[in-house]
Amino acid sequence: GAGVSQSPSNKVTEKGKDVELRCDPISGHTALYWYRQSLGQGLEFLIYFQGNSAPDKSGLPSDRFSAERTGGSVSTLTIQRTQQEDSAVYLCASSLGTGASSYEQYFGPGTRLTVT
Amino acid sequence: AQSVAQPEDQVNVAEGNPLTVKCTYSVSGNPYLFWYVQYPNRGLQFLLKYITGDNLVKGSYGFEAEFNKSQTSFHLKKPSALVSDSALYFCAVRVPISSGSARQLTFGSGTQLTVLP
């Protein structure tokens, strides 16, 4: 079946502009995660959605970052007033919400964000 | 707080030789452990996991990993390396849901594996 998809694959933006990154999880997966991969910081957790529960936003680095998940499926990560330090690859992952198969997360190809 | 250490940034091995990529972890309670592989310009691909049971787990592409509770380690191994195994490997940990801790994965810093022909 189809895996996790993300768009765009690459995004170049000017400092100060807002960007939106999109994630389409695997059909039937109720859990969705956003991570950021950057040189020097490795892989960092950003935010987690599970069904209709309030998201876990504990990893968001600043209030310029926000995310939503509409209809329990597609998610959008928004970065406002982008800064050069926001340049990274943003990875989305999804997993089944319950049961033993929920433990592994399946990752999308990522969106490479470059802030100039 | 949970953490993962991958002590080697780079591992080089000759094709056909056995390979080991090291991982140690720190977590309160029983860990769930994972290995992922990342090829250039690609997302992470799941290789294998340890949840409970047999300490030796087998995964994709001939990889296996051994959970050692006393040494808090979860090293990735393969008996005979292939050039195509060259990639970036990440170890990750999370804790059981019942502990109330977060469900996200905590990753190690990654180990670049190069298999030389």
Q: What is the DSSP letter of B31?
A: -
- Residues in chain B with CB shorter than 8 Å from the CB of A93 are 44
Per-residue pLDDT, B1: 76
Q: Which region among A9-13, A43-47, B66-70, B94-98 has the lowest average model confidence (pLDDT)?
A: B94-98
Using CA atoms, how far residue A51 sits from A2, A34, A95, A116, B23, in Å, is 20, 15, 11, 36, 32
Mean pLDDT, to the nearest integer, of B102-113?
89
Residue of B nearest to A43 (CA): B107
User: Could you tell me which residues come within 8 angstroms of residue A53 by beta carbon, excluding any fewer than 6 positions away?
Assistant: none
- For strand B10-14 and strand B111-116, is the pairing parallel, antiparallel, or unpaired? parallel
> pLDDT by residue (tens digit) across B76-104?
999 999 999 999 999 999 876 654 455 78
User: Could you give the percent of chain A with pLDDT greater than 90?
Assistant: 72
Residue of B nearest to A32 (CA): B104
Q: What is the mean pLDDT of chain B?
A: 91
Candidate from A31, A42, A107 with C-beta closest to B44:
A107
State the greatest distance between any 2 C-alpha atoms of chain A, in Å, as a whole number.
43
Query: In Å, how far is A18's CA from the nearest CA of chain B?
Result: 24
Per-residue pLDDT, B96: 66
- Residues in chain B with CB shorter than 8 Å from the CB of A4 are 43
CB A97 within 8 A of CB A29: yes
Q: What is the DSSP letter of A89?
A: E
Query: In Å, how far is A2's CA from the nearest CA of chain B?
Result: 14
> pLDDT by residue (tens digit) across A67-101?
999 887 999 999 999 999 999 999 999 998 666 66
Q: In this structure, which amino acid lies at residue B39?
A: Y
CB within 8 Å of chain B, chain A residues 18-77: 31, 33, 35, 42-43, 45, 48, 50, 56, 58-59
Is A91 in Cβ contact with B44 (below 8 Å)?
yes
Residue where the block lists tokens 């080089």: B12
Residue of A nearest to B44 (CA): A107
Q: Which region among A56-60, A64-68, A69-73 has the lowest average model confidence (pLDDT)?
A: A69-73
Per-residue pLDDT, A99: 64
For residue B79, whether the previous peptide bond is cis, meaning omega lies within 30 degrees of 0, is: no
Q: Distance (Å, rounded) from C-alpha A47 to C-alpha B13?
A: 37
Mean pLDDT, to the nearest integer, of A6-34?
95
Among A2, A27, A39, A7, smallest CA distance to A109 is for A7
Per-residue pLDDT, A98: 64
Is A110 near chain B, with CB under 8 Å? yes
Residue where the block lists tokens 């970052």: A65
